[in-house]
Amino acid sequence: MKTLKLFAATTLAMCIAGASYAADKTNILLLDTKNGQVKIELLPKVAPGHVKRITSLANKGFYDGLKFHRVIEGFMAQTGDPLGNGTGGSKEADLKAEFSDVSFERGTLGMARSQSPNSANSQFFIMFAPAPHLNGQYTVFGKVTDGMEFVDSIKKGSQALNGSVDNPDTIVKMRTADKY
């Protein structure tokens, strides 16, 4: 009888662990570059609307082939514009800002926007280094947990041209882990 109870408890624990792993996979974003895969933990409790937008677009293939059009050494790499020049977005409505107390550190993902705080749409950036001046000014929605060396290897742009990149690297593929 003890063996049966132990087996039942072990099986239940494995089912619970499996269920939480499956749930976690919806909040893991896999971004493939030409040099390797970047694993990103999404932060739905910090920015639920932005996470929902990014995952929806990613799982539709929206980001596949988009350029890292603005990449500034020691600062950040920006992507997510279907026009490839920093002026475009998805066909979805712009998002309301979800500012938080999460700091912009190396590996943090934030939403790009215009001067209006409520203008984020599909463009985002990944930080190469801390940028405290962005704290509370842009929405944080994720952080790189593995593969930051592949972010570091993204082709950098011209300092004189505010990071504009000639013949830029692209996102090969981007999906949540449960849809990859």
Domains and CATH numbers, the chain: 28-176 (2.40.100.10)
Rounded-to-integer distance, Cα 25 and Cα 156, Å: 31
pTM (whole model) above 0.85: yes
Rounded-to-integer distance, Cα 179 and Cα 10, Å: 28
CA distances from 103 to 83, 96, 113, 132 (A): 29, 19, 17, 7
**More confident: 123 or 16:** 123
pLDDT attached to residue 24: 85
Q: What confidence tier does 11 reach under pLDDT thresholds 50, 70, 90?
A: very low
pLDDT averaged over the chain? 90
Average of pLDDT values for 77-102? 98
Q: Which residue has the tokens 């739905």?
A: 44
Return the percent helix, strand and coil in the chain, to nearest 5: 25, 25, 50
pLDDT over 90 for what percent of the chain?
Answer: 86
Largest CA distance in the chain: 75
